[in-house]
Amino acid sequence: MEPVVKLILGSFIALTLGLAAASPLLIPNLALTTTIQLEIDTVYAYISIQQYDPQIIGLWRNYSNLWENDLHIISYLFIINVTNPTDKLLMLGEFTASGALQIDITQFPRGELSVGQTNPIVTAFRDLSRYYPGWSQYWQPNSSRLIALSGTIENSNTAAHDALQTGTIYLFARVEGKTYEGGWAKGYNLKQVQLQQIGNEYLYNTLLNQNQILRLTSDGIDVYIETRR
């Protein structure tokens, strides 16, 4: 064998040994390159435009000012169904749910999403990736959980209010987290729905059947369905 070949071979073996020696450092980090696609769906949306009687003193809001007639106080409850379709343990912590007249999504090559909303009605975001008392961010393999995002907002966009009254809006949901090994776990869903109008309340329901109600845990995040006889 030529000396040069021996030199190259020897150097290659030494290089490989170096790589092998550092492999305990490298291999766990390879998990970071993986991204798991989660299944997510907005299964329930409840939007209510609050009415206040200006004659009653002490209500936290009233419409005593004319300008406030265009300012709508909206209470909302979004329920998203988040499924871990893999056999990996996941830690999910960032949840978004929103409703708007029009929602456009652009996905960039590295997986980032750009979400553009026209006449947004409600946008709710929860970052529960840090410790949140009483709530577990772990998703067992092949399991689903219902997550609630609720609250009250002010919306002065009259076009959004008009869109809500027509009942046809877009619902967007997004979840982001990590695998137990450190890789990314992401998912989003966008759909156009027809809301059911009941007075000042608007409903989209693919979750509850007759005799069923929703029960929220004390932290207001996990949701269960209860069947009543």
Partner 1 sequence: MPATSDEELKDTTLKVYIYTVKADKPVGPRDVMRGTNLSSPSVAYRHLQKLENLGLLTKNRYGNYTLKQKTTITGHLWLGKTLVPRLIFYAAFFTGLLVAELATITIRLAANQPIPTELIYLTLTTTTATALFLTEGTKLHKQTTQP
Which spans of this chain sit near partner 1 (rule: CB under 8 A)? 1-4, 6-7, 10-12, 14-23, 25-26, 29-30, 32-33, 182-184
Count of helices and strands (H, E) across the chain:
2, 13
**Nearest to partner 1 of 167, 182 (CB atom):** 182
**Nearest to partner 1 of 10, 54 (CB atom):** 10
Q: Are 160 and 100 in contact (CB under 8 A)?
A: yes
Residues 6 or more apart in contact with residue 36 via CB below 8 angstroms: 84, 86, 88, 90, 179, 183, 184, 185, 186
Query: Smallest gap, in angstroms, from Cβ of residue 174 to partner 1?
Result: 17
Query: Smallest gap, in angstroms, from Cβ of residue 34 to partner 1?
Result: 9
Pairing of strands 212-216, 143-155: unpaired
**Nearest to partner 1 of 183, 220 (CB atom):** 183
Query: Smallest gap, in angstroms, from Cβ of residue 186 to partner 1?
Result: 12
Query: Smallest gap, in angstroms, from Cβ of residue 143 to partner 1?
Result: 25
Pairing of strands 35-37, 184-194: parallel
Q: Are 205 and 44 in contact (CB under 8 A)?
A: yes
**Nearest to partner 1 of 182, 220 (CB atom):** 182
Three-state DSSP state, 226: strand
